[in-house]
Structure 1
Amino acid sequence: MSVGVGTLAVFSYIDTRVSDRFDTTLLDRHTQLVVGLNVATDNPEALRDLMFDPAYGAPYSGRYWQVSSRDGEIFASASLFGETIAEPRGSPDTPTIWNTLGPENEAVRSVYQLITYEDGTVWGVSVAESQDQLVEERRVTQQSLLPVFALVGLIGVAGSLLLTSVILRPLRKLRSDVAHRWDRDEDLKPSDYPEEVSPLVRDLNQLLGRNRDIVSGSRRQAADLAHALKTPTAILRNELVALSDTGTPIDTAQEALDRIDAQLARSLARMRAMNTAELTHSRTDLSNSINRLTRLFSIMAERESKTLGVSCDPDLWIRMDTQDIEEVLGNLLDNAVKWCRNSVRLAAIQQEGNIEIRIEDDGPGIPEAARREALRSGGRLDTSVTGSGLGLAIAVDLLNAYGAKLDLGRSGALGGLECKVVIQSVINTMPA
């Protein structure tokens, strides 16, 4: 934009200079006419011989002169072809430049002056030139300079882009290094950046270190809490087994204990994900995670004479912790393998800045009216299959923490449940 404004300013200056030069030339011609009339006041007709510019002799050439006496006599160049040039009001006795009309209403620029000569005669002296000449001169000047300014403009734009790139290069490097720091757990080195950026790098080191401590502490607390609860729940399960051996019914208590474990797992997963999503720039190679889960669940499916088909685009990266996305996909695959009759399909594709994961099965599916409840509370819709019923709810909690979403529908290919996960993708900037 600055180049355009500068070009317009220069063109405006050039137009002004061309106009000034045009007026200066016009004043010079006026001076020539004044000098010529000085020696021909007694015979103004002789001016046609004295003013020997060929343009004065060609009718309507665009260049004219005219002198008028006090008694109304007018002598003019042959180029006026019998017509006259208007004179300004007041008959100024100093050279006056003004715009008026010439022959056939042609727009002209004229210089007029009322002059008293030594012999006492008074004459109005005018020279005029068509404004078309001025316009043409401006056009020619602009056309001749336009390529020069275009080249200068291109050089200026290229220089600005190069300068901007050089200025932003340290910031791009800083952005990349900040993202990689979460993977390498290394401090940024202020000496790797310009002096102006070094204070920012030191502050980022402190901030990133504090965030990592918060995340690590939160995960450690969640793990410690889970570990601390395992012993009491194991004792309770052993007691239930002992009661079962005596013939006491334990089904209700067993189910209640299972739900306690599942609710604790859900709460701990939610707490872990919230801290991780807000305070880190975690990235996960989704393709690698899917391949790892596929090997595990393929074995589980084969044991039950079922099949698991997988289609995954290569090099899919998401901004989500590896443990969290694998827990989401693990829960969804576990449900699909449990509920399917014969087959399960998993597909992961890149689509318009997002990654879409579809897990489908040929089981009974979930009625449309019950899908929202299944996502919200994780209630078990059928008790014939073991489990807590909280797998979907945990998956929803983890995905929501990262701004992703889970939708349930009916599989068009297999006829059972379709779980569709949509996660924003990221570009892999990790060094090879």
Structure 2
Amino acid sequence: MLSLRQRALIGGIASGALSVGVGTLVVFSYINTRVLDQFDGALQDRHTQLVVGLSATTDDPENLRQLVFDPAYSAPYSGRYWQVTDSAGTIYTSASLFDETIAEPRSTSDGTTVWNTTGPDSEAIRSVYQKITFEDGTEWGVTVAESRSELINERSAAQRNLLLVFGLVGLIGVASSLLLTSAIVGPLRKLRADVAHRWDQGDELVPADYPDEVSPLVEDLNKLLHRNREIVSGSRRQAADLAHALKTPATILRNELAALSDTGVDTEPAEEALTRIDAQLARSLARMRATNTGELTHSRTDLSNSVERLSRLFSAMAEREGKTLFSECEAGLCVRMDPQDIEEVIGNILDNALKWCRTSFQITARRADNGIELCVEDDGPGIPEDARLEVVRSGSRLDTSVKGTGLGLSISVELLAAYGGTLELRRSERFGGLACEVKISP
């Protein structure tokens, strides 16, 4: 379906083309009539001059050639001619006719007759003819003619000039259509940008800032934005409440299993099952939280602060196990993610690196051309290349010698995907173990 801009532009160009086309036809018709009238008027004037000259030379019409002076009448086949015929049928002509004559209309009225005929060498001419009776009683047929090529040339010149004018008018019309389209679509572009940013700021759109035709839509969008905020907030509260509600029974079960373990009962399978239940619940709640956050909000989080805080936490945990965490983070890094979500992603990756590294692991965060890159590397055994995709997709565990659920990386992938981020596993060039590289839009 065509956009509003395309519709307005096509409509403006079509209406402009139609207006220019109709205007051109009308003006061309007027110009043709006007040029013909001027051409006939000039013929009438020359006819009058010839009649006046003939009235003084009725006794010797040959003198007309000297009396009616016009260089075009003297040049053979010049395109401008005159001819007079007396009552006896004797014909006197201008020198331009040479040895030719001009046909006279068969039926004539008392007035002048203007008509198209042929002249010397079958030339198309336009002629004015009138039968004149002078006071001395002599009767003469007086003809003045001119080549129609002059008329055609005048029309063509006028049309060419008009085509240039109408072409310029057409270009102005197209430019006006573009400007008008931009002015019409401008409020919609502004509305689109405002809707994108108002969600971050929590402000409502102001209907008075938009044209009357758009104001009702703005009011409806305000209601929709408000409703969406309520849905997102409610969903996140429900997820948090559900997590809290499940955490208490899980803790009770874990304490009961610990008590049974103290009495010598083998509770390891039950504890592992409970751990996987907790992880699956955490995964589902994280997915619910991401679904209601990544698509509907544009939160910004100070990534540098989060990395620094989590680095301190995991450094302390690493020291207790005789391991070392190195941290390199550029200042002022921000990402479009909810703070809880991005910190859960970083925490899961750091926790995985702490479990599997031998002595050292490192977190690095920096700006890149396409956003923010965060990489966690360790000196552990790593993951075979053919198994990396399966690990992040299903959360399966390749080695059960270390306690865990195997869902940390899978949860991180789902949280990042909700915000358009990615998680890639590769071999660490620095430590030789696993490298988890996260890419997020700034």
Identity %: 40
- Greater mean deviation of Cα atoms: 147-156 or 293-302: 147-156
Cα gap change, 1:213 to 1:372, in 2 (>3 Å): same
What is the one-letter code of the residue matched to 2:324?
A: S
Alignment CA distance shift 1:296-1:97 (3 Å):
farther
2:329 to 303, 310, 331: 310
Q: Which one of the candidate residues 46, 49, 61 is aligned to 2:64?
A: 46
Partner of 1:264: 281
Aligned pair 1:357/2:377, yes or no?
no
C-alpha distance in 1, partners of 2:74/2:201?
90
* Change in 2 beyond 3 A, CA 1:133/1:188: closer
Shift of 1:308: 2.6
- Equivalences for 1:415-430 in 2 at 5 Å? 416-421=433-438
Q: 1:178 to 1:121 in 2, by over 3 A?
A: closer
Q: What is the TM-score normalised by the length of structure 2?
A: 0.70
Deviation (angstroms), 1:296: 2.3
Cα pair 1:29 1:127 within 8 Å, conserved: no
Give 1:268 deviation, angstroms.
Answer: 1.0
Q: Which deviations, in whole Å up to 9, do the C-alpha atoms of 1:76-97 show, x marking residues without a partner?
A: 675x9x6989999x98975346
Q: What count of residue pairs does the alignment treat as equivalent?
A: 402
CA drift of 1:350 comes to 4.5
Indicate if the aligned counterparts of 1:36 and 1:47 stay in contact, CA closer than 8 A: no
Relative distance call for 1:331 and 1:91 in structure 2 (3 A) is farther
Tell me what 1:368 maps to: 385
For 2:235 and 2:341, the matched residues in 1 are separated by: 14
RMSD: 4.7
TM-score by length of 1: 0.71
Q: CA deviation at 1:411?
A: 5.3
Which is worse superposed, 2-11 or 386-395?
2-11
* Cα 1:142–1:178 shift into 2, 3 Å: closer
Output aligned runs, 1:28-427, within 5 Å.
28-38=41-51, 40=54, 43=61, 46=64, 50=68, 52=70, 64-67=79-82, 75=93, 78=96, 95-96=114-115, 110-112=125-127, 116-118=131-133, 119=139, 121=141, 125-130=145-150, 131-139=152-160, 149=169, 156=176, 160=180, 163-164=183-184, 168-169=186-187, 171=188, 174-175=191-192, 177-188=194-205, 190=207, 195-278=212-295, 280=296, 282-286=297-301, 288=302, 290-299=303-312, 300-301=314-315, 303=319, 304-311=323-330, 318=336, 320-336=337-353, 338-339=355-356, 341-351=360-370, 355=371, 357-363=373-379, 364-402=381-419, 404-410=421-427, 416-421=433-438
Question: Following TM superposition, by how much is the alpha carbon of 1:44 offset from its aligned partner in structure 2, in angstroms?
Answer: 7.6
Deviations 1:47-104 (A, max 9, x none): 685363x6666789xx8323568999795675x9x6989999x989753469x9999x
Moved more, 253-262 or 396-405: 396-405
Going from structure 1 to structure 2, the CA distance change for 1:418 and 1:21 (only over 3 Å counts) comes to farther
Aligned to 1:429: none
Identify unmatched segments of 5+ residues in structure 1: 426-432
Query: 2:341, 2:30 → 1: CA distance?
Result: 72
**Alpha-carbon offset, residue 224 of structure 1:** 1.2
Aligned residue for 1:372, secondary structure, equals helix
State the shift of 1:137 in Å: 4.4
Change (3 A) 1:284 1:136: same
Distance 1:344 1:257 in 2: 30
- 1:224-266 deviation line (CA, Å, top 9, x unaligned): 1111111121122222322333344433332222211110001
With over 3 angstroms needed to count, the CA separation of the structure-2 counterparts of 1:315 and 1:377, relative to structure 1, is closer
Letter in 1 for 2:300: D
Tell me the alpha carbon deviations over residues 108-132 of structure 1, each in whole angstroms, 9 at most, x when there is no partner.
Answer: 9853456555536485834434444
Distance 1:57 1:317, change over 3 A: farther
Secondary structure, counterpart of 2:324 in structure 1: coil
SS in 1 for 2:404: coil
Q: Do the aligned partners of 1:91 and 1:113 also contact (CA within 8 Å) in 2?
A: no
- Matched-pair contact (CA < 8 Å) for 2:427–2:435: yes
Cα contact 1:96–1:113 (8 A) shared by 2: yes
Unaligned runs of 5+ in 2: 1-8, 134-138
Work out the CA distance in 2 between the residues paired with 1:277 and 1:384.
Answer: 35
The 1:233/1:316 distance shift into structure 2, 3 A limit, reads closer
Q: 1:284, 1:249 → 2: CA distance?
A: 47
Cα deviation, 1:320-347, whole Å, max 9, x if unaligned, reads: 5443344334433443455454434334
Q: Rg larger in 1 or in 2?
A: 2
Tell me which residue corresponds to 2:4: none
> What one-letter code is carried by the residue in structure 1 that aligns with 2:280?
Q
Per the alignment, in what secondary structure is the counterpart of residue 284 of structure 1? coil
Q: 2:68 is aligned with what amino acid? A: L
